[in-house]
Each structure stands twice: as C-alpha cells, then as structure tokens.
Amino acid sequence: MKNNEKPLILPIEQIITENDRVKTFVFEHEMNFKPGQFVMTWIPGYDEKPFGLVSRVPGEFMITVAAVGESTKALHAMSVGDLIGFRGPFGSTFSLPDAGSIALIAGGYGMASLFNLAKEAREKGIDVHVFLGARNKAELLYLDWMKELGTTLYLSTDDGSEGFKGFNVQVFEEEVGKQIFDKAYTVGPEIMEMKVADICYKNNIPFEVSLERYMKCGIGICGSCCVDPVGWRMCVEGPVIDGEKLKEITEFGKYHRTASGKVEGYPWAKISRN
Amino acid sequence: MIDLSVNLAGIKLKNPTILASGIMGVSAASMRLCQENGVGAVTGKSIGHEERTGHHNPTVYSWGQGLTNAVGLSNPGVDACVDLLSEMKESLEIPVIASCFADTVDNIARVAEKLIEANPVAIELNLSCPNTESDFGLMFALDPEATTRAVTQVKKIAGNTKVFVKLTPDGANLVDVGKAAEAAGADALTATNTLSGMIIDIRTKRPILTNKFGGLSGPAIKPVSVRAVYNLYKSVKIPIIGTGGINTGEDAIEFIMAGATTVGIGSGIYYRGIDIFKKVTNEMTLFMQKHQFHTVEEMKGIAHEK
C-alpha cells in the first residue's frame, strides 16, 4: 500500500528563459522518474497541472512551461527561491529497443517528455533521430542539450525561420523512406501524433505515443483522464501508450473530455463516439 | 462452496462490492474498466442540473493516513448524462446506480426525474457532499426534515428505480437522518460520505486544496464509518451500503458484521489498484472458508450479537 504522494515542496533553484512564452524551472531533488512520466505541479494559490519531467544531471530535475493560462502566467512571474509543490512521478513510461536507431517526433514542448528518453537511448548507444517542430526558431526547445547528447536533429518551423518550412511529420515521413527506424516515439499536439501514428502503421514501425488528457487527481481515482472505450486512465495506464494498444483507444484524434467530463470534439474531427 | 452474491433492496449483486460515487468519473468506459476488475455494481458520479467544471486543482491528494478531496461535483450536467446513463446500462452487465445532487430539494427532484428516465436500478441522492458549501450552503443530510422532503419527492417519481440516500458522518444526528430517510421511503442508505477536514501545508503556509476544505477518505475514516453503520443497523430495517476506508476483504467483512449489506469502494483504488474489487472478493472468500461462513448474509450484523 502506498501513501507517499504528499506534496514535495521545493524552492525554484534556477529559471531559464527559453523564449517569450516558455521558461524552464530547475529544482534540486532526485525525482527518480523514468522517461515519459509526469509530475503534478502545484502553483500555490492558483492550480496544479501535469508537466513532463526532465533531468540533465542526477539530483536535479526541471519542468518546461509555456505561459498560456492564469496559473502558468503566475508561475512565470515567480522568482528563484519561491516554493512549488510536486506530486509524482506518475504514469507509464517509454521503452527502448536494445540497440539500433530510433526516431523522436516532437512538437512544441513535447520535447520535454522525450528529452530523458533521448538521453537514456544515447547512453545505451542507440542512434537517436529527433524531428523537432515548432512555430518558429525561438520555440525550438533544448537544441544545445540535444546536440550535446549526440542526437541527429531534423528541424522544422511553421514560418521557415529555421530548418524545413512546414511540419516535422513531413520530414519524418521522408526519412522513413530513406532509413530504418527500429522504433518511433511521439509527443505533441494530438493531430501531429495522429499523423505520426498513421506513418508508423503504414510502414510497420513500432511506436509509442504520450497522450494528454485533462487530469485532476493524478493517482487513478477521479476518472477525468479515462479514454473511450477501454476506460484506461492516462495518469496510470498512460500517458505513454504503445501503438498496438493505441488502436483500441477510439477517441484518439477525435475527442477528449473537459474538466466537467463533457465530451469535446477536436476541430479537425467529426465526433463519433461509436 | 462460498456464495458472495447479495440482495440489496431487491437488486441482485454477484458480490457485495460497489464502486462508490465520484470515483472513476462519468464515462461508461471507466465503469466498464471497473466491471472487468470484478466490481458487483457501479455508482456513477453525482450529476447536477447544469454542467460544472468543479474546483481548480489541487482537488485530490494523499496526506499519509488517507486521501482528501474537493473535486467540487464536476459533471457535464443532467441533459448530457441521461444518454450516458443509458449507454452505461446497455454496455454493462452489472447493476448501474445513478447519483445526483442539487442546490435545493425541488431541484434534486428535477435532476432525479431526468436520470430516472434512463431507468437505473437505483438512484443515490447525494445529500451530503462536503465540498460545495460556498455554492450550495449546508448539506441537506445534516437536516432530517430536508432529507424527508427530498426522499418523499423523489420516491413519488421513482417508479421501479430504488432510492438510496448517502449520509454524512459530519453531523451528530446521522441515525436520525437515516431514520427520516427510511420513513420517507428510502430503499437503502449509504454510510458514509467523506468526513470534512482540512490540511495545511506549513511550508507554503496555506491549505493545499483550492477549496481549502476537503472530504477525508481512506483508512483514516474507516472506524468512523463502521460506527455509523453499526448505529444505523440498530435503528433502521433498510439495507446499508457501508463505505469508508475499505481496502481489503477483512475491511469489507468488518462493515458487514457491523450491519452492512454491501460495501462501497473508492479511495481503495488508489491504495490497491483498479483490481481492488477482485482482491477484496478473493480475500473475503478466503476468510469465509477459514471461518466456515457460506454466505455474506450469515455474517451481516453478527457483531451485534451478545
């Protein structure tokens, strides 16, 4: 039986400004997480939200946060020494092949959930090809760190300010025709993940996806993040889902549930729950 | 041969475990996951008149001896939930109990009426959610008179649907409220809801839950709920769903010996996983084999014997 998810309260040790909208907050603590896991992050007085865990050196971890709502803006306004609460790490994890070559397809801050997978893969001697996409050059995350790890980077931006002008999925699809990937991993907007899934199914590439759903408890009891029709909880059975299991999640790419539990279709998909 | 099946107010359950309301959310999919894991019946999340997003996070956390939560009755609203309830009924093989709440007695009857259209085997009146006082005022279940009115109104329109009342451990008059519910026609009582509490984080110098107060659940409240069931059993004839801190088959049997017909399980999913229903029923079977009980009924209320 467990009772170890009391909030861990830590001061912010360092704040890295990634760009106008995104900051990385560094904390001194050994989080003991596995790649793909997340942490419920309490911004006292505002909210608690899940963020992917990143760690570059032992005894330290970080979260990368875009200022998009009230609570994340409040976090951006905080200073070194201010206190943040954490529960976790929670959720399922990515799994690596023993050797060979892998592709990571990351959009936006999806890279945060994939960074430690890239690190672990490089430590095992696996070739890591990163297809990183963002709106513009400034929003391409962790470029120096990824170079340091010895990954091969394929950059793309919506506005063409860096790398290929267009989507990272297009670059990935082109490379799939040229080289062999033993496994692919994708984290980012669901429409991007859907396209990656299609490419992987067509080309018989095993893959894993991290699926984001609205979360409340983070510990598998509130049901907010259950997916149709299997009922798997994205905070326990997810967020990392294997490509074969993903076929059973019929809501993938079509709809999700809001904080009230109401079904909300994605703009690109017609809702069909059956 | 051990027979775990029970009869709860005329509803046949293959075993006495029931998913407590508010756990695992509002989707048919999550109820199916519980069914696959051996639950005897499921109670849906409490449904209100209109869509509610609930409180901001943090809404749930584990404080060491149990959980505390103030989710704030988030739900998609009754109109969206009638279809959902029908979907649950169609896709599940186990009994489905609906749950509802509202701000006034008249409104709880309105919400119940809509849910009853989907013909659930029972509807549980959540007269005792501790987490919405700022929105709705004090809970009805502290007041026998309000409880009487709510049950009377819902019974009039319930048809074949049984009416259950969920009681609070917060008042000193739990037995009086239970008796009032029975007199008004309630078919069963759920004892109990969470116990109101508060946890303050001394580093950040503030309550952790956004709602400040929350409902305590899990191991810490089990003795409180066992006592509630024991006292109710002495005073009412209708069956009791014992709920509060059940993690093991032994816990379930303790409630049954106090007088419960069935047991509600909620926070236990956190402590033992979604397969807690299988674990609890297996543990009950082992205990019953060892102590020569053949049916759940044989153990019911046995702790009252001199």
The 10s digit of each residue's pLDDT in A179-231 is: 999 999 999 999 999 999 999 999 999 999 999 999 999 999 999 999 999 99
Residue B106's CATH number: 3.20.20.70
Kindly name the residue from B34, B81, B100, B129 that is annotated as catalytic.
Answer: B129
pLDDT at A271: 58
Q: Is the confidence at residue A137, as pLDDT, over 70? A: yes
The pLDDT tens digits of the residues spanning A245-266 come to 999 999 999 999 999 999 999 9
pLDDT at A122: 98
The domain tally of chain B equals: 1
The average confidence (pLDDT) of chain A is 95
Question: Do the Cβ atoms of B184 and B155 come closer than 8 Å?
Answer: yes
Question: Do the Cβ atoms of B249 and B287 come closer than 8 Å?
Answer: yes
The pLDDT tens digits of the residues spanning A153-172 come to 999 999 999 999 999 999 99
Its ipTM equals 0.93
Separation in Å, CA of B26 to nearest CA in chain A: 6
With a cut of 70, list the residues of chain B below it in pLDDT: 131-137
List chain B residues with CB under 8 Å of A223.
23-27, 30, 45
DSSP B156-199: HH-TTSEEEEEEPSSSTTHHHHHHHHHHTT-SEEEE--PEEEE-
> Contact B29/A49, CB-based, under 8 Å?
no
Interface residues of A toward B, Cβ cutoff 8 Å, are 1-7, 9, 40, 42, 44-49, 71, 83, 85, 87, 216-224, 226-233, 236, 257-263
Q: If pLDDT is split at 50, 70 and 90, which confidence band does A76 have?
A: very high
Cα separation, B36 vs B278, in Å, equals 9
Q: Residues near B160 by Cβ (< 8 Å), separated by ≥ 6?
A: B119
pLDDT at A109: 87
Q: Where are the domains positioned within chain A? A: 8-90, 94-210, 212-274
Asked, for residue B206, whether it belongs to a domain, the answer is no
List chain A residues with CB under 8 Å of B277.
none
pLDDT at A209: 98
Q: Is the confidence at residue A3, as pLDDT, over 80? A: no
B100 is catalytic: no
Q: Which of B53, B62, B201 sits opposite A9 (nearest CB)?
A: B201
pLDDT at A2: 54
Domain that holds residue B144: 6-56+73-200+218-304
CATH class of A94-210: alpha beta
Residue B153 sits at φ, ψ, to 5 deg, of -65, -45
Q: If pLDDT is split at 50, 70 and 90, which confidence band does A274 have?
A: very low
Q: Which of B29, B52, B274 sits opposite A260 (nearest CB)?
A: B52
pLDDT over 70 percentage in chain A: 96
Q: Which CATH architecture has domain A8-90?
A: Beta Barrel (2.40)
Chain mean position to CA B253: 17
Asked, for residue B159, whether it belongs to a domain, the answer is yes
Asked, for residue B153, whether it belongs to a domain, the answer is yes
Could you identify the residue written with the tokens 């009891």? A221
Asked, for residue B212, whether it belongs to a domain, the answer is no
Cα separation, A265 vs A262, in Å, equals 10
Task: Check if A8-90 and A94-210 are the same fold.
Answer: no
- In 3D space, the residue among B266, B264, B255 whose CA is nearest the CA of residue B233 turns out to be B255
Q: Is the confidence at residue A1, as pLDDT, over 50? A: no
